[in-house]
Amino acid sequence: MAKGKRKRRKTKKQREARARLVAIISIIVIIGCGWLILARPVNVDEFEYPEWISQQFIKKDGHSRTGLKTKKIRNIVVHYTSNPGSTAQNNRDYFNSSQSVVSSHFVVGLEGEVIQCLPLSEQSSASNRRNVDTISIEVCHPDSTGEFSIPSYNATVKLCVWLCQNFRLDAEDIIRHYDCEGADHKLCPKYYVEHPKSWEKFKGYVDERL
């Protein structure tokens, strides 16, 4: 009888030990899988593009579209078009013209429309020495203050959230052209350089949505 009880106790202990082992192995497998997913390089070909992004790639000309490949994306750079009242289509078409030697991956328009001008695997010609590891966004604005319209502002937040999620970046990884190496503190995007609190607020809105 006593022997039988000991046997049952032993079996209970064994069951508990097995359960602990299963729990530990499960945790290791979950952490391992998570690590593998996060360590996997970002592949832009796997991105799912939302319907609000209109892809209108510009032609390869060696200047606006150099065809050079980007390296690992470290930042998203926000610009303003410095051309009050111009539309996203105007700016995209200018990038595509023979006069242009500049470009950005995206242009956000006054009504919140979003045009993608370049594949995300290629460098834009927008952010000085940081073209190689950044994604650029030009934002249209209604007047010379450079402040974004509400639809443009909201669409830029939405676009930044989508980019951060896909490139596994944080809101703090969104920078102004002004902050770029080699930009010599260019006044771009003007309003958000002159109003640093508004810039912090912008990043705060992105952060809330991540």
Q: Whole-number minimum distance, CB 29 to Zn ion, in Å? A: 46
Q: Which is nearer to Zn ion, 79 or 203 (CB)?
A: 79
Q: Could you say whether residue 160 binds Zn ion (CB under 5 A)?
A: no
Q: Could you say whether residue 130 binds Zn ion (CB under 5 A)?
A: no
Cβ density class 166-177: b for 16+ within 10 Å, e for less: bbebebebbbbb
Q: Could you say whether residue 177 binds Zn ion (CB under 5 A)?
A: yes
Q: Which is nearer to Zn ion, 28 or 188 (CB)?
A: 188
Residues 55-94 close enough to bind Zn ion by CB under 5 A: 79
- Tell me the three state secondary structure of residue 139: strand
Q: Which is nearer to Zn ion, 70 or 103 (CB)?
A: 103
Q: Could you say whether residue 105 binds Zn ion (CB under 5 A)?
A: no
Query: Distance between CA 42 and CA 121 in Å, rounded?
Result: 11
Distance (Å) of CA 195 to CA 26, 141, 147, 187, 191 = 50, 15, 10, 11, 6
Q: How many beta carbons lie within 10 A of that of residue 128, not counting itself? A: 15
Stretch in the footprint of Zn ion (CB under 5 A) among 23-31, 54-62, 144-152, 171-179:
171-179
Q: Could you say whether residue 188 binds Zn ion (CB under 5 A)?
A: yes
Q: Whole-number minimum distance, CB 146 to Zn ion, in Å? A: 11
- Tell me the three state secondary structure of residue 99: coil
Query: Distance between CA 66 and CA 62 in Å, rounded?
Result: 4
Q: Could you say whether residue 135 binds Zn ion (CB under 5 A)?
A: no
Residues near Zn ion, by CB under 5 A: 79, 177, 188
